[in-house]
Structure 1
Amino acid sequence: MSESWNMSYNALNGGLGWGIFVIGISCFFTNALAVVYGRRPVFLLGNLLLFISSLWGYFAHSYSSLLASRLIGCIGMSPFEVLVTTTIADLYFVHQRGLRLAMWGLCLSVGVGGGGIISGYIIQDLGWNWTYGICAILFGVWIPVLYFFCPETAYRRDAIFNTDQGTQDRAEELTETKLAKLEEKHETVENIDRVETNLTFTEEKHSYAHDLKIFHGRQCDDAYWKVLVRPLMMLVFPQVLFSFFAYGLTTSWLVVVGSVLAQLFTAPPYNFSVSGVGLVSTSALIGSIIGAFTSGPIADWAVKIMARKNGGIYEPEFRLVIIIVTLILGGMSFFGFGWSLEVHDRWIGPVIFYGIQYFSVGFMNIAVYGYLTDCHRDKAPEAFAAINLRNIYSFGMNYFVSSWIVSQGPKQVFCIVGGIHVAICLCAIPMYIFGKRCRSWTSRVKIFQVVMRA
């Protein structure tokens, strides 16, 4: 691309990085739409935009046209960036989420690692535009798949049944609240008693035809603009702020490293071909698969063990224990990656360290996903939209990382990255110690109560 359009690698990489910025911003809008109108219509719209964008990218013959198509596609990508974790929280119990979140993390990593391998051969044999053409075919096939097999998971139920939001111990209070509302409607005492004691009542299962409806009514009575600004307000919570830095700054490095692989491995002494650069992502793919199949079960196992030792009481901070894997292996992988490139080790050295990066960061993702879901189950979409502001950071890094490597060398660059990574992981220690106090504090201080009710 840089040769065809007479652009520098850094300018091209940084310019297309605008897509990452658009994902970060559009997450707020798609999240608000999903909270108010449900997950299903937003998923369907996002996939349709990805199809249109990929088709446009295939026919793009200029940088400006390709950039425009990428921006449209990134708007379509934003629902999948922020809503899948929320959907997992909709469907599964607390002790079941670790494995499902790990599987979702695996899908993301396989997309990056496996996509890099496949696209290298596509570009070499068919041309870069066919990467978008094949994506258009896949998204086109996915339109009917989503329509027929992706039902709405948002559900408006009585607060007394939201036991994973800490309402179980407030059952009496919630029951009294409901009784008071019924009294306001001038219901008789006999009717009230009958309604409240008939706890075996279950709703009829919706028909498949009903599930195929794209829109199932409003899922939230709040105004759209309120839901739109709520993720920014969620950043005042210590748990969300910690998750933003921990998740954002660790996963953003993977985006940055992936964006400079061609710069690092097509140059001497490696002189890789385009497909060879794609094969570098094999290590990321292997690391992601191993990490996914170990991090999820380990996370759930650790939570159960610690809950038993805590007298059967579960605390969300138990999720943070597995960050020790990310601290040790992640720090080692970034330092080793830069150092091996600097001294011109054989290609196997930096490639192995690249795979360890993906393996270790998978544990951070599971820890943060689970911790944030457990702390703010009722505001999970807003919380995840808030931490996805990290895409703006990735966008900024894309603009200067290539020139930074040229001017100072990979050793200094990735040693600095590794140092920041270690510092961020160490922040999990005070969060583990004081997390419960923070949750207690935020539940009592008025400003946080205002945000939760906003």
Structure 2
Amino acid sequence: MSFVSDIDKPSNVHVEDIERGEKASVQELDPEHHDYLMKRHGTVDLDPLPSSDPLDPLNWPDWKKNFQILLIALQTFSATFMAAGLTPAFQPMAEVYGISVPKASYFTSAQIAAFGVMPLLWVPLMNYYGRNPFLITSSLLCACLNIAGGFCKTFAQQMATRVLVGIFISTAFAAGASFVADLAFSHERGKKNGWWSLALVVGTPGGPFVCGFVQQHAGTKWVYFVFAILNFVQFILWLFADETVYFRHGPQPEQKGFFRFLGLKKNPGKPLALNVFWRPFKLVTNFNVCMAVIAASIAFCYANIVLVVELPQAMGILFELDAQQLSYQYIALIIGSVIGELLAGHLSDWWMKRCIAKRGGQRVIVDRLWISYNGFVCIVVGLIVWGVYLYKAEPGHWKISPLIGGAVAAAGNNIIATVLVAFAIDSAADKAPDVGLYLNFVRSIYGFLGPFYFPKMFDNLNFAGSAGLMSALVVVFGAGPMILVHIRGSRRA
């Protein structure tokens, strides 16, 4: 018996018998609970099983659930939108603050670092005390800080606003998995997780695309004002949202005194344990989750961050593009990401239903991984097309060929992100918030390191050689681990 097969023996069951699970649920439910679920959902074959309380988020109307998930997706989008949206303003800010362009890029790097670290603090607090007060407050504070950013006169002042924005907007950055876990059943997770994962991915090219026009026609100050407007819209929308934290097992919290004034809840039957802040890292012992996180992080770095961050250098300088012309290039990445989501969320949920039916009611979670291989193929093909055609391009003569490759790679990244997030949560369904935090930390920190070596890689290997290296890394450290997980899970089934 290998170490790999033993590493998470005590962890989650990877094979479920849907039919036997339904019969067991029917026997355990009291008549009133059974009748309520049949009236509300038309079935008791639900995972997870809701309570008979209409306030249980799983019992909310579908429109209300979708509103909440789309709202957290919007806030997730805004985080990467604002971090990457500064790209067209690097040159003007470098001139105003008397710094180099690489140093101006630290405004983005600082926020990426905050996205990786701060959710480890925010998400456990939000899952315990309630999410809405944190999200309402953070949206308003970010709006104020972005207004201040438009009036900063020095590098230090602007860096302070960027760091604080990164800290506060990160309340939403890794909370998407928690929202989906509280609002969606297992058969919906592929699609619903796809919404916020698509928002996160699209935010990186979406920011430079929009802000390139703003920078060209209104100036740097209005880049920050656009960020502030987006944050204020979120603030208003959160005021109309209901709290999604619900203590299904045990008494419901009572809001008293200062907690009631702040809108916070408190679990009366369970104190907040300090280990929740480092508990996500325990998932390193869950082989399925760990491998999925590594694969998703590799894909995100080389099929999203490298394309977004290096596009000004790769195409802007090569083809002599101004800020507005450069913004057009990001359309390819946005289109690719949207197509990737259309080929991921619905498809993976449909595929799982098909596999369950084919297996006679048996649910094997590694079946979902078949869809992820489409993503790895797209990334490899897209990166090679992107790199080779950039290598062959003539300075000053724009061609669309590299953008086609970038779009294909972006589609592959979103397929992988959606499918592997759903798979990781399936592998540790009772630890969905921890899965989101663990994935976010690894993905953000690995992505944060990329811009430090990307320029040297392109200088030493050229675009074609760099594309070959990145493709090899995606195959070895992305597809390779997931194939191993797939084989291992299929044998245990």
Using the size of structure 1 for normalisation, the TM-score is 0.80
For residues 219 and 39 of structure 1, do their structure 2 counterparts lie closer, same or farther at Cα, with a shift above 3 Å needed? farther
Q: CA deviation at 1:212?
A: 11
How many Å separate the matches in 1 of 2:200 and 2:263?
26
CA shift for structure 1 position 24: 0.6
Indicate if the aligned counterparts of 1:106 and 1:292 stay in contact, CA closer than 8 A: yes
Q: Give the superposed CA RMSD.
A: 2.6
Deviation string, structure 1 residues 290-346 (Cα, Å, up to 9, x no partner) = 222231111111101111122211122122111111121111111221111111164
Distance in 2 between the 1:336 and 1:49 partners?
43
Structure 1 position 6, deviation (Å): 4.2
SS of the counterpart of 1:372? Answer: helix
Please tell me the residue identity of whatever aligns with 1:262: P
Matched, 1:257 2:348: no
1 CA distance for matches of 2:341 and 2:269?
34
Q: For 2:350 and 2:462, how far apart are their aligned partners in 1?
A: 42
Check the 8 A contact 2:97/2:153 in 1, yes or no.
no
1:394 matched to 2:485? The reply is: no
Q: 1:157 aligns with which of 241, 248, 256?
A: 248
- The equivalent of 1:318 in structure 2 is 367
- Would the aligned equivalents of 1:21 and 1:392 in 2 still touch at CA under 8 Å? yes
- In the TM superposition, what is the alpha-carbon distance from 1:280 to its structure 2 partner? 0.7
1:219-258 pair list within 5 angstroms: 221-253=270-302, 254-258=304-308
Deviations 1:197-251 (A, max 9, x none): xxxxxx9xxxxxxx99832323882434211010122222112211220111211
1:377 corresponds to 2:429: yes
In structure 1, the residue matched to 2:481 is: 427
Matches within 5 A, 1:3-402: 3-14=95-106, 16-149=108-241, 151-158=242-249, 214-218=263-267, 221-253=270-302, 254-268=304-318, 270-344=319-393, 346-389=398-441, 390-402=443-455
Checking the alignment, whether the CA contact within 8 Å between 1:330 and 1:360 is kept in structure 2 is: yes
State the 1:36 CA deviation: 2.0
Counterpart of 2:465? 412
Aligned in 2, Cα 1:222/1:330: closer, same or farther, shift over 3 Å? farther
Percent sequence identity over aligned pairs: 23
Determine if contact 2:111/2:163 at 8 Å carries over to the other structure: yes
Do the aligned partners of 1:36 and 1:219 also contact (CA within 8 Å) in 2? no
On the 8 A contact 1:109/1:284 being kept in 2, the answer is no
Structure 2 letter corresponding to 1:333: G
1:267-290 CA-partner distances (Å, limit 9, x unpaired): 13x111111111111011111222
Deviates more, 1:380-389 or 1:285-294: 285-294
Q: How many residue pairs were aligned? A: 390
Aligned partners of 1:33, 1:136: CA distance in 2, in Å? 25
Superimposed CA distance per residue, residues 429-454 of structure 1 (whole angstroms, 9 cap, x where no aligned partner): 1101213778x9xxxxxxxxxxxxxx
Work out the CA distance in 2 between the residues paired with 1:220 and 1:291.
43
Q: Report the Cα offset of residue 122 of structure 1.
A: 0.3
SS at match of 1:217: coil
Contact 1:116 1:281 in 2 (8 A): yes
1:262 Cα deviation after fit:
1.2
CA distance, structure 2, for counterparts of residue 409 and residue 5 of structure 1: 32
Distance 2:120 2:321 in 1: 40
SS at match of 2:285: coil
Distance 2:246 2:107 in 1: 40
Match of 1:185 in 2: none
Task: Work out whether residues 319 and 367 of structure 1, in 8 Å CA contact, stay in contact via their aligned partners in 2.
Answer: yes
Structure 1 distance, partners of 2:114, 2:95, is 26
Distance 2:427 2:325 in 1: 44
Secondary structure of residue in 1 paired with 2:317 = coil
Contact 1:114 1:285 in 2 (8 A): yes
Q: CA deviation at 1:11?
A: 3.2
Deviation at 1:54, TM superposition (A): 1.5
Unmatched runs of 5 consecutive residues or more in structure 2: 1-92, 253-259
The amino acid of 1:240's aligned partner reads V
Q: 1:46 to 1:276 in 2, by over 3 A?
A: same
SS of the residue 1:404 aligns to: helix
CA distance in structure 2 between the partners assigned to 1:384 and 1:7 by the alignment:
36
Per mean C-alpha deviation after superposition, the further-off stretch among 47-56 and 348-357 is: 47-56
CA contact (8 A) 1:120 1:278 kept: yes
- Does the CA-based 8 Å contact 2:176-2:436 persist in structure 1? no
Q: Is the 8 A contact 2:348 2:419 kept in 1?
A: yes
- The aligned residue for residue 79 of structure 2 is none
Q: CA contact under 8 A between 2:375 and 2:412: conserved in structure 1?
A: yes
Question: Which residue identity lines up with residue 256 of structure 1 in the other structure?
Answer: V
1:412-436 per-position Cα deviation (integer Å, ceiling 9, x unaligned): 2222111111221232111012137
1: CA distance between counterparts of 2:245 and 2:144?
A: 27
Query: Is contact 1:155-1:219 (8 Å) kept?
Result: no
Rounded to whole Å, the distance in 1 between the matches of 2:243 and 2:482 is: 35
Structure 1 pair 275–290 and aligned structure 2 pair: CA distance change class (3 A): same
Q: How many Å separate the matches in 1 of 2:132 and 2:367?
A: 32
Q: What is the CA–CA distance in structure 1 between the aligned matches of 2:483 and 2:451, rounded to whole Å?
A: 30
CA shift at 1:256, angstroms?
2.9
Deviation at 1:143, TM superposition (A): 0.9
Q: What is the Cα deviation at residue 82 of structure 1?
A: 0.8
CA distance in 2, matches of 1:334, 1:74: 30
Q: Determine if contact 1:252/1:394 at 8 Å carries over to the other structure.
A: yes
